[in-house]
Structure 1
Amino acid sequence: MRITVGRGVGGAIAALALVLPLATAGPAHADPDPEALIRAIATAGVKQHLKKFQEIAQANGGTRAAGTPGYDASRDYVVSRLKKAGYKVTVQPFDFPFFQEKSTAVLERISPSPKTYNPTPPDGSGIGDFATMTYSGAGDVTAAVQAVDVQIPPASEPNSSTSGCEPSDFASFTPGSIALLQRGTCTFQEKAENAQAAGAAGVIIFNEGQEGRTETIQGTLGEPTVRIPVVGASYEVGQELAAAGTTVRLKTDTISETRTTHNVIADSKWGDPNKVVQLGAHLDSVLAGPGINDNGSGSAAILEVAEVLGKIPTRNKLRFSFWSAEELGLLGAEHYVASLSPAELAKIKLYLNFDMIGSPNYAIMIYDGDDSDGVGAPAGPPGSDEIEKLFEKYFKALRQPYQGTDFDGRSDYGPFIEAGVPSGGLFTGAEGIKTPEEQKKYGGTAGIAYDPCYHQACDDLSNINDKALALNTGAIATAAVVYAFSRDLPGPDTRPAMSAARTASVQADAHHGHGIIR
């Protein structure tokens, strides 16, 4: 179904004008026609950007993930479009830990009796007896298994095993063996690094064995510091491999290294540089697919808004942000916020985030800036409630149902909220399951995911709901225009200056990059 964004937004503009009056950028310019500006932002342009993202993915192994040629080509496309639209574009580099499991791992017991263990596939489509640790090194080794300070049967208390946590645990370890370690009091990374330093050819870390801690470990080493194969396993597998005289074959096929990627930050040449209205969306996909809904949809929408508004003199400065490495833990947005001085941070008066706005089995969700539902995450910084109300006014004017959704920390608003910036945005759902009540409000199918192709290869052009895309693009356009021209922006500027210690800490993180440790 084809929907024009501009259709029906006149009533929304009229309603919003009562709350946030539009003002001209200066006496030298004629008053802008807000409805005309918003009508100029059409879904046809958004769909063209999505088509380009799909073409880029198809030409680059089916992905646009950070650290891959597909992301770099997406970055270059966005930069080219923004420069043509008149923006000052900054391509901000940062290092990050890249990991890819190229093929399914192998774990086989060679002796005392042959047995092949079921692997967890790299695409996460199931859980086997063992799983490659994120940031595992690569290798194919056959060697004796040597247990290091393991507890079989398990200790009565969970998280009590110190297996592999101290270099001294490996005092009698035979170099060239495969270290069998147990989950416990220190990180997987510490265990694997100690084993590697002792000359281990590979590492198997199995679960502790108490109730609730028997399943296959699917973990991360946090960063690419280990060169040898490292896998997690269930308690049952570890118990079997701990038997004397056991020899196994362990194979992992991975890329684990530090790479450089880039955020794209575009500043309009218009507006008060001390009053920045910032919009953002992550540009990267996961390795498994092209990421057209997640998050080509948000990126394409703000790119189209930027192109239309680039030549329009505004009262406040517009800034459009395209984040990298969001899928690895919001790394791009974290790097950007950490790199800002307190003075530069204070200039950002609000941040609007758009991540997945075209989910095929969608719900219309507005980030809950005031915690009006009283559950889950708390309210956003002061002013976030006003952003939520703006989006509510828009959807009410269109007689379109909507609902709140928590600031749960899963997208790029997270670092801005932590820094005290009023924030808001829109979301149409990921792997969560649609309820019968939501089916009545929005259509679609209850009992299945909002996006059945979430983080999969099928997140392509066919995975976009045109109605959801149109409704949300209209809302984004409305918010951008209202805030670009408003004399009064959300919330008092109550953000405290960062302490010297925190400033030093976040700037160090920004310089070096960092990974996720679980």
Structure 2
Amino acid sequence: MRRIPSRSTRRSALAILAVAAAVLVGTGPVAGAAPERSAETLTDTLVRKVSVDRINRHLVAFQRFADRAGGTRAAHTDGFRDSLDYVAGKLREAGFLVETPEFTFDRRVTDAASVVAGGTTVEPFPIIHGMNTPAGGVTGRLVHVPVDANPGCDAADYAGLDITGGIALIKRGGCTFTQKQAVAAGAGAVAAVIYNQLEGPPRGILAGGPAASRIPTGLVTMADGAALAALAGTTTTVDLRTHIVPTVSRNLIAQTRTGRTDNVVLAGAQLDSEDDVPGINDNATGSSALLEVALKLGASPKVSNAVRFAFWGATWTQFGSSAYLNSLDAQARLDIAMYLHFDILGSPNAGHFVYDGDDSDRVAPGPRPAGCARIEKTFVDFYAASGIPTEGTNYDGNTDHPGFAAAGIPVGGIYGGAFTYKTAAQAAKWGGQAGAAFDPNHQTPRDNLDNVNLDVLDRNGDAIAHAVGSFATSTEGIDGVSPRAAQPMAQEVAPAR
């Protein structure tokens, strides 16, 4: 097949011909004239046009939607529905092909959540996919598992402990929740309480799903864990009961009208919040930046590849992105050149993390399709050009990356940090406070407009613009597909495939 020269190649060829013609007729450039400036690329234009002021206007809108809904934009609330309508309206007005496909997710409703030890009562988070206790809970002696580098991760951690029929109190870290509760069950515990090793919300999921649940398991804060540890040996009752309510939510999928539809750049962000929180840094920042990049790109840009923007609903357990992936046939999945994810971009004590596509960190489990390393390098190089160092971060199971990677789609993106602590080395690199969380208000009601570092969000918005503009122009370094002239989409072609 004959390769069609790119627009820039044709422009360069014409320029050479024009100079040659000028020399032949004796009308060359005037001596001393200023050299002609090179044309601004799509990527440069997009970075220049994306403004943190406009991103912040979207944040203000999301805050108002949360306020009207009682302080939340969770997927089953009016706060989320208003958020989705706002984004859809903006993108439709700009001319994008927009769909808001429905899906049903399992929304957990908590019926009971308490740990009572003597006269002390704490409220745990019932781990997602964990089994329930009987009504009234289970009772046993509270046993604090010794703390080491991998607390409660091995059967040897229970050697010499009288844990049969007891409640295991385990520090978080060193292995998965799934492994901790399974080892505790194997040692004879009837329930497990896992406490945070850092300040932050006690939330989590059993990665293996309900089948991996061996005993009822609750998660508590670091402070509550310390209080319970002081009560080790006390008769304790753990009551953890939830039920599932099938709930309808929506994703929002918007696509450009130009570019190849068989080599689509997919960029996404979580649109909803956790229950009972406004979710402005997590993750209205990602959605707002992505929305502004889409609006500045426009619905009919001169690109080689179509760009598809996804705003996910019900994302705590990846229901939204999973529903989307499951809706695609094999060919539609092959048509996606990559998935870029943007999460928590304005943390008050932020870092600049790039998802580890080349496995240089040696910490991220799971597949890395070919192309992930090149996506990582695109972000790293962009920040480096501005003198900003970056660090790798693993593909967290609580984000939307793993599903796409498992489907063979190259993945990448950026992240600003949440409840883990900034080290002294990181503070030296990025500024901010060592020994404090990147976002001390993560998943709390204080995650509001006041919780956003606009300077960091500005840089991250530019990084998104750079990546989207670059890959819309060419994915040759990702999947070997050479750029070609933009091709208009047929109007009858739906964008959600």
Distance 1:146 1:425 in 2: 45
Distance 2:139 2:386 in 1: 67
Distance 2:473 2:253 in 1: 21
Distance 2:129 2:397 in 1: 21
Say which SS state the counterpart of residue 101 (structure 2) adopts. strand
- Match of 1:322, as an amino acid? F
Distance 2:255 2:9 in 1: 16
2:97 paired residue number:
88
Contact 1:266 1:319 in 2 (8 A): yes
Q: 1:428 aligns with which of 413, 416, 436?
A: 416
Distance 1:423 1:69 in 2: 31
Alignment of 1:157-168 (within 5 A): none
2:310 paired residue number:
321
1:170 paired residue number:
none
Distance 2:139 2:376 in 1: 57
Say which SS state the counterpart of residue 45 (structure 2) adopts. helix
1:39 paired residue number:
48
Contact 2:337 2:475 in 1 (8 A): no
Distance 1:64 1:137 in 2: 27
Per-residue deviation, residues 398-452 of structure 1 (Å, max 9, x unmatched): 1112122222333111111111111111011111110100000100001111111
- Match of 1:484, as an amino acid? A
Q: 2:61 aligns with which of 52, 55, 58?
A: 52
1:480 aligns with 2:468: yes
Distance 2:417 2:96 in 1: 31
Q: 2:322 aligns with which of 334, 340, 360?
A: 334
- Match of 1:121, as an amino acid? E
| Structure 2 stretches lacking a partner, 5+ long | 12-38, 141-154, 157-164, 169-183, 196-203, 211-215, 220-227, 482-497
Say which SS state the counterpart of residue 277 (structure 1) adopts. strand
1:272 paired residue number:
260
1:414 aligns with 2:402: yes
1:440 aligns with 2:413: no
- Match of 1:79, as an amino acid? A
Say which SS state the counterpart of residue 306 (structure 1) adopts. helix
Per-residue deviation, residues 64-87 of structure 1 (Å, max 9, x unmatched): 111222111111111111111111
Shift of 1:52: 0.6
Contact 1:99 1:134 in 2 (8 A): no
1:386 paired residue number:
374
1:396 paired residue number:
384
Contact 2:102 2:249 in 1 (8 A): yes
Distance 1:93 1:26 in 2: 45
2:294 paired residue number:
306
Shift of 1:380: 2.2
Distance 2:167 2:325 in 1: 38
1:467 aligns with 2:455: yes
Say which SS state the counterpart of residue 407 (structure 1) adopts. coil
Distance 2:115 2:380 in 1: 53
Say which SS state the counterpart of residue 251 (structure 2) adopts. strand
Contact 2:346 2:454 in 1 (8 A): yes
The percent of aligned pairs where both chains have the same amino acid is 35
Distance 1:34 1:305 in 2: 11
Distance 2:370 2:64 in 1: 41
Contact 2:59 2:285 in 1 (8 A): yes
Contact 2:251 2:311 in 1 (8 A): yes
Contact 1:75 1:264 in 2 (8 A): yes
Name the Cα RMSD after superposition: 4.2
Shift of 1:117: 5.8
- Match of 1:46, as an amino acid? I
Q: 1:297 aligns with which of 278, 281, 285?
A: 285
1:191 paired residue number:
none
Q: 1:258 aligns with which of 246, 250, 262?
A: 246
Q: 1:216 aligns with which of 175, 186, 193?
A: 193
Cα gap change, 1:252 to 1:395, in 2 (>3 Å): closer
Q: 1:451 aligns with which of 439, 444, 450?
A: 439
Contact 2:46 2:293 in 1 (8 A): no
Say which SS state the counterpart of residue 490 (structure 1) adopts. helix
Shift of 1:460: 0.7
Distance 1:454 1:444 in 2: 17
Using structure 2 for the length normalisation, give the TM-score.
0.68
Cα gap change, 1:60 to 1:338, in 2 (>3 Å): same
Per-residue deviation, residues 216-247 of structure 1 (Å, max 9, x unmatched): 37998978xxxxxx996999999958xxxxxx
Using structure 1 for the length normalisation, give the TM-score.
0.66
1:377 paired residue number:
365
1:363 paired residue number:
351
Per-residue deviation, residues 334-380 of structure 1 (Å, max 9, x unmatched): 12112211100011011111011111111111111111234443672
Distance 1:217 1:387 in 2: 36
Distance 1:22 1:279 in 2: 24
- Match of 2:193, as an amino acid? T
| Structure 1 stretches lacking a partner, 5+ long | 1-20, 109-114, 125-130, 148-156, 159-179, 184-206, 224-229, 242-247, 494-518
Cα gap change, 1:132 to 1:299, in 2 (>3 Å): closer
- Match of 2:446, as an amino acid? C
Contact 2:109 2:245 in 1 (8 A): no
1:352 paired residue number:
340
1:63 aligns with 2:72: yes
Say which SS state the counterpart of residue 269 (structure 2) adopts. strand
Cα gap change, 1:438 to 1:69, in 2 (>3 Å): same
The alignment covers a number of residue pairs equal to 393
Contact 2:422 2:434 in 1 (8 A): yes
Contact 1:85 1:306 in 2 (8 A): no
Distance 2:247 2:327 in 1: 19
